[in-house]
Amino acid sequence: MRSVYRALAGLIAILVVVQAMAIALAWFTVIKDVDGGLVFDKNSDANVGHMIHTIVGSGVIPLLAILLLIVSFFAKVDGGVKWALYVFGLVALQFGLAALSFGVSAVGALHGLNAFALLAVAGMAARRAGSQPVTTAAASPASTI
């Protein structure tokens, strides 16, 4: 279970990087299209970058955060539940900040900043799971006689 915990936390961290890449792709595509004479407004179809950002951010990462939290109860990682709760909380905050950003665009800066926090916390959770020695029951002296 420790390896599942580590994999889930690491995957969340990797997907935060994918999110940054997807939103950069999305907006550079919009800029290129607008420079080419197209119009981008509320009636525009989302481009591939926006679609990736939406699917990963509103579906995949939250699902993995829930799975990480569930696995944390069985993984026997020191502080594992605490770190999984941090990840889950930051994911929930990220979703809330995204929703608020449509009404108050300046909140989008906090959405970007929180992504860095999520990347760091998920990475730390994965690292903690990988750096702790696996404890096994040692043979007692009486059992070796």
Residue 73 lies in a domain: yes
First vs last C-alpha separation in the chain:
33
Average pLDDT of the chain, as a whole number: 92
Nearest to 16 by CA among 124, 128, 131: 124
Q: How many domains does the chain have?
A: 1
Can you give the residue range of the structural domain that contains 58? 2-132
Residue 144 lies in a domain: no
Evaluate whether residue 137 is within a structural domain: no
What are the tokens at 120? 């760091």
Confirm whether 143 is domain-assigned: no
Q: Each residue of 35-85: pLDDT tens digit?
A: 999 998 888 888 999 999 999 999 999 999 999 999 999 999 999 999 999
Q: Is residue 141, in this structure, part of any structural domain at all?
A: no
**CA dihedral over 99, 103, 104, 105, signed as positive or negative:** positive
**What local confidence, expressed as pLDDT, does residue 130 receive?**
87
Report yes or no on 61 lying in a domain.
yes
pLDDT above 70 as % of the chain: 90
pTM over 0.85, yes/no: yes
For residue 83, tell me if it sits in a domain: yes
Q: Is pLDDT at 138 greater than 70 in this prediction?
A: no
Residue with the two structure tokens 């906090």: 110
Q: And the tokens for 51?
A: 């679609």
